[in-house]
Chains A and B, each alone.
Chain A
Amino acid sequence: MSIGSRKPHESAVGHVTGSAVYTDEQRRPAQMLSVYPVTAPYAHARILSIDISAALALPGCVTVLTAADVPGCNNTGVIVNDEMLFPTETVSHWGQAVVWAVGTTELAARQAAEKVVVSYEPLEPVLTIEAAIATQSFHTCPQTICRGEPQLALRSAAHQLSGELAVNPQDHFYLETQTSWVIPDGEGHYQVYSSTQHPTETQTIVAQVLGLSRNQVVVTCLRMGGAFGGKESQANPYAAIAAIAAHKTGCPVRIKLNREQDMTLTGKRHGFLGRYEVGFTAEGKITALDADLYADGGWSLDLSPPVLLRAMLHIDNAYYIPHLAVQGHIARTHKVSNTAFRGFGGPQGMLVIEEIMDHMARSLHLPPEQVREQNFYHGTGETNTTHYGQEIVDNRLARVWAEAQTQANFAARKAAIAQFNRTHPYQKRGLALTPVKFGISFNKVCYNQAGALILIYADGSIQLNHGGTEMGQGLHTKMLQVAATTLGVKIHRFRIMHTSTDKVPNTSATAASSGSDLNGQAVKDACQTLQARLAPVAATLLGLNAPTEILPEEIVFADDWAYCRNNPDAQISFEQVIAAAYTSRISLSATGYYRTPNLTWDPVAGKGQPFYYFAYGAAVSEVAVDGFTGTFQLRQVDIVHDVGESLNPLVDRGQIEGAFVQGMGWLTMEELVWDEAGRLRTFAPSTYKIPTVSEIPENFEVHLLTRAAQEGVIYGSKAVGEPPFMLAMSVREAIREAIAAFGPPGTLVPLQSPATPEAILTAIEAVQAQSRCYETV
């Protein structure tokens, strides 16, 4: 079960038997306490007073945590210190936790929380991006990335259009809500178990709020019940609360948000507002784009700057735009602080350019897929270079595009659908093909590093540690495959260890799709170090003369055996090699390390080589739209996606399918609704709908691009976590095609996102209204 095999998830048996342990399902230590928040009933208000006396009087209430209980810094901001853990002066979003009750049980903590009296003076909230623009409520100065002379080029363009798109936010809806345990050791140290994508940052924040150095805090992530970016920075505050409670009480403390709290307290995918002016030729070639992207940052900055930057770097998607200016803004609103979510701004930027492509195509009466294709990056040099100056070295757009059309039988189906639509007045079908190009690497260059630690025991069993966390994406499975292949042993020798900051320090978040790229290379490095030490031992055991002069690469380790390349018949078992190494006093543990080469980024100029490479994909979706209700049915999906040489096709296919469906949910049904007072009205699965199995078509084909090895990446593979999310744009565009069929050719189709039945029906009415105008002309 080494590289390239369809090895099931390393915890699959644990998952299906219920024996896989998550943070809050560990065996509880004695005297473990629970916490419960007191939440703000206003989106924006001044805190006048906090009275905890009635709560403290309740049996079962241990204490109530307030700002005064924070021994260190009362702040959990990850880029800037703007995120008060206990707000002392104002509350900044509805449902914000103001203080936390600590109880012997969760119910006791909750009852205590209900007795806390906070008085407020309501203040005017800023609740939308438009309101933030009107009141100039921004977190940061605008950022610009520019190539060429967009305004000049716009004025000279044959055709010009302008428009606006509101890109909807999305809740992560990981099945396991935010959870942490903090266990004080009584000597001033803290063991934290957290469902976090970023143990090092959780460690940093816990140390910061406790006023400790980082070595006093160990953060361990067992596994996560889903994360999708929602536990990159936003796991930290809850670990911090539990840590403060543990510090104050001396007891172990657990926190697990219930679903309503999780959806009310935690940040979402950023809603965006995109405004654009585009210039293009009569053939539909884009010549200039001037766009503004406004991200709804929410009340604090969190990870908004890099999210916005990725949106700005992906507003080109697959398209060469000779003159392009994009300005980015982060609105400060009185809502939850929006955060990382699969794609990290990329989807929002790409949705805007896909809107533009459609806008251009319909205004010219051209097929949208034709307009898309003729704008692709191509050739070499300028036409294959992004607006931030990175040349796309290994451009696979044409390949995935052509293969997707073939796999989907695109042309024939398009003709058949046109025929269907001519004879069906009340139901229309739509077919659309959209591309994805997605840059791989953390934009912040220093995050592109990783470490591993491998411990071989004298019986030949091995512990594998690396800096990445397991959230379901199969990282641990891939790391086991990398380690087994590199070390030349069977996979069952390994025990994959929980991710812990006392094993690998200073790790980066498991994010940006980079988990296997970075940690895989670090694991490989550690294995190679060990192999270099073991080779002479094996050579001695194999009876080779002058074993110390044998080059390590002449000893082959494979499948639990070692042998000399020149004499494969004489073999020695791995266990014998290890036993001999131990007695020969050879170190059997090693660290591994990796940093991605050749990355540069100049934030001032907005230029550089921020991405190590790009991932590519294309998807064809077919839908049927009901003209009476606006409901739609996804009928068929065909995907061609580039994962390089897959480390594990079972895992990679799972990532592609899962990402697509999550993207489809974002674009079609997942609607977050706030009321006019800024109260989130969709904080449970009864009101916030993610896809179920019934929304998934029977015909759903995924093809991994073949002959696709990616040079310089672990065993020729490519990152897969985020890129396929954006393949779901094909669903939105297919819906638009179907809506268009209710009107005359060339009808523009303004379509809100998400494309709920109501949004679709509204769009149908709009094209039908155009149709009536058309008929009367």
Chain B
Amino acid sequence: MEFTKKEKPLKEKPLPQQPLTLLVNGQTADLTAVSPTMTLLHYLHHSGRTGTKEGCGDGDCGACTVAVLCTGADGTLRYQAMNSCLIPVGAVAQREIVTVEGLTESFTAGLTDGPLHPVQAAMVKTGGSQCGYCTPGFIMSLFAAYYDGSVDDIAIEGNLCRCTGYLPIRRAATALMQEMAEAKPCDRFTQRLSLPSASPDPPPSLLQYLGPQEQFYRPTQIPQVLSLLQQHPNATLIAGGTDLGLDISHQRRPFPVLVSLEDVAELRQIHQTETAVEIGAAVPLSQIQSYSQTELPGVFPSLDEMLVWFAATQVRNRATLGGNIATGSPIGDLPPVLLSLDATLKITGMGDRLAPYRRTLPLADFFKGYRQTDLQPQELIELVSIPLGITPGAVRRYSQSYKIGKRGTDDISIVAAAFVIDVEASGRIVHARLAYGGVAAIPARAIAIESALMGQLWNFTTVQQIKPLLLAAFTPLSDLRGSARYRQKLVVNLFEKFFVETIEGLEN
């Protein structure tokens, strides 16, 4: 299959003629004849690598997990577990991945000659596989965690197993942690991680991947993104692809032009100013998690808490803050948190005369209706700015978030909530934010309640007085996740829970 380049090259930079490849288990695979929107999982299967399994095609079961070599925030290389069913090959062209077949050194079909990798040996010994269909995914999650130095439940919470009840897999993880405490991993994979990134990560210049029916662009600068959007009115922006990837995985609609944001360095940075922390729209959530833990410990407890419950490791390694906002879902996990923190968006776009512009918009003004946002077709979210510090005059901030689903881990919320209460020395509330997901067509604040709380004492009586108002604040719908009545109860109860849990001496 030959692909023809119909599009004019961008003016800014002549396009390099790069052969499109993927390094799989140390071997170079030629992607030239592969559609850029074929998922990595399907590509692996089509190329005869059937060890990686499909359990759902939704990024929910983890059977398709592979390890992708990535550069961490600190510039070091890491293996990151990702769901290959949600990644179009266009997104991983020129990158380096490890699949389950790559863990044993001399591998021939059906036979394993070389010794097993420690994570494999641990899983065999503890009886960590029964039917074996989910096992390659677990192996790859454990593998990535092994080289990250922490093999725990969090590493495997995005992998479903229907046979074992997870106990032997957890025993394997525990055994690995013991092994690692005795001797740090030292093998060809640690060697690889100590090398500079051989395959460009991200590539230094715009990568364009043109199939006969689909075009996939990976620009490296914001102006390139804007001009691609200008040139291709039918283009779709894709960041981590953990939402859009479902449509790609299930081939629900054609994607003639995909513009990926993952190589745009400006979108992948986190900055702190005097007054705010600015998170690039394409920063993966796992990176926000580690940044918040190391650079802003305890500053945003509601953000830290929500990120724990946001999907699972494989998704957090791909999903981005901008994506979670731009999809405009009423049940996105982070919008309530960001609303409660008065986050603002910096949006950039190209005007009528091809002049780039930027605008700033409070997040509260961004959501317009069900899956509708203020983002214009030729715009993108550049960054999310979260104010630092508490309200002037306040002496204490109470802040937390909650997510309630049928399953605690890796579920879509029935209701998510995030609260901020700032109190002055007298104990009176000087600032209140109550933000919810899952109770309206958009993530929404209970603004009337916030006003009613102003000037009140932050105590049990106030909370009891506000409850009837809160019960009537939203008119949620009933759906497969929960009834309208339950949602209404949660709107109230989560606020009371927040009060009880954040007031010392009342902790349950």
Contact = CB atoms under 8 A, between A and B. Distances in A.
Interface of A: 6, 8-9, 11-22, 25, 107, 110, 172-176, 223-228, 258-260, 424-427, 471-474, 626, 628-629, 631, 633, 650-651, 653-654, 657-662, 669, 671, 673, 681-682, 684-687, 689-696, 700, 756-758, 761-762
Contacts of B489: 761
A696 B170 contact: yes
B58 interface: yes
B164 A657 contact: yes
Contacts of B166: 661, 691-693, 696
B127 interface: yes
A696 B168 CA distance: 11
Given A173-B162, A662-B162, A650 B127 contact: yes
A660 B407 contact: no
B53 A175 contact: yes
Contacts of A15: 123, 129, 132, 135-136
B136 A18 contact: yes
Nearest to B407: A689
Contacts of B408: 631, 633, 694-695
B56 A472 contact: no
Contacts of A761: 486, 489, 493
Given A684-B56, A761-B486, A654 B480 contact: no
B160 A654 contact: no
B165 interface: yes
A259 B132 contact: no
Contact of A696 (B127, B165, B496): B165
B291 interface: no
Interface stretch (B9-17, B96-104, B337-345, B350-358): B96-104
A686 B127 contact: no
A653 B127 contact: yes
Contact of A8 (B124, B160, B411, B481): B124
B133 A226 contact: yes
Interface stretch (B26-34, B107-115, B359-367): B107-115
A561 B228 CA distance: 75
**Which 7 A/B pairs are nearest by Cβ-Cβ distance?**
A18-B51, A472-B131, A225-B133, A15-B132, A661-B165, A472-B130, A18-B100
8 contacts: A9-B130, A16-B139, A25-B50, A173-B160, A223-B131, A689-B407, A692-B410, A694-B410
A15 B135 CA distance: 6
B60 A694 contact: no
Nearest to A689: B407
B133 A474 contact: no
A700 B128 CA distance: 16
A228 B162 CA distance: 9
B220 interface: no
B480 A690 contact: no
Contacts of A17: 51, 100-101, 103-104, 107, 112, 116, 120
B101 A695 contact: no
A685 B61 contact: yes
Nearest to A19: B110
Interface string B15-50: 000000000000000000000000000000100001
B191 interface: no
B131 A175 contact: yes
Given A14-B132, A19-B111, A175-B133, A8 B163 contact: no
Given A686-B58, A692-B407, A693-B169, A424 B508 contact: yes
Nearest to B49: A18
Interface string B130-168: 111111100100000000000001001111111111111
A193 B342 CA distance: 58
The B interface is mostly helix, strand or loop, or mixed, namely loop
Contact of B132 (A223, A692, A762): A223
Contacts of A756: 406
Contacts of A651: 127
Contact of A474 (B52, B130, B167): B130
B404 A631 contact: yes
Contacts of B272: none
Contacts of A424: 508
Contact of A175 (B61, B406, B483, B496): B61
B129 A12 contact: yes
Contacts of A626: 497
Interface string B228-271: 00000000000000000000001100000000000000000000
Contacts of B136: 15-16, 18
Nearest to A759: B486
B82 interface: no
A175 B55 contact: yes
A693 B162 CA distance: 11
A498 B162 CA distance: 23
Contacts of A693: 153, 156-157, 159, 166, 169-170, 409
A22 B55 CA distance: 13
Contacts of A176: 53, 55, 131, 133
Nearest to B132: A15
A490 B327 CA distance: 60
A668 to B, nearest CB: 9
Interface in B470-490: 479-483, 486, 489-490
B125 interface: yes
Contacts of B53: 175-176, 225
A696 B156 CA distance: 12
Contacts of A682: 480
B494 interface: yes
Given A686-B60, A689-B407, A694-B409, A629 B165 contact: no
Contacts of A694: 153, 157, 408-410
B454 interface: no
Contacts of B497: 426, 626, 628-629
A605 B403 CA distance: 54
A259 B490 contact: no
B163 A259 contact: no
A21 to B, nearest CB: 7
Contact of B135 (A16, A172, A473, A659): A16
Given A225-B131, A669-B407, A629 B163 contact: no
Contacts of A19: 51, 101, 107, 109-112
Nearest to A687: B480
Most buried by B among A21, A22, A225, A227: A225
A13 B112 contact: yes
Contacts of A224: 131
Nearest to B493: A628
Contacts of A673: 480
Contacts of B303: none
A14 B165 CA distance: 20
A687 B161 CA distance: 16
B81 interface: no
A567 B133 CA distance: 49
A626 B498 CA distance: 13
B36 to A, nearest CB: 16
B123 A686 contact: no
B412 interface: yes
Interface string B403-427: 0111111111010000000000000
A9 B119 CA distance: 16
B245 to A, nearest CB: 12
Contacts of B490: 629
B211 interface: no
A37 to B, nearest CB: 15
A427 B501 CA distance: 11
B150 to A, nearest CB: 14
B146 to A, nearest CB: 13
Contacts of A689: 405-407, 411
Contacts of A8: 124-125, 127
B63 to A, nearest CB: 6
B500 interface: yes
A758 B162 contact: no
A128 to B, nearest CB: 16
Contacts of B63: 175
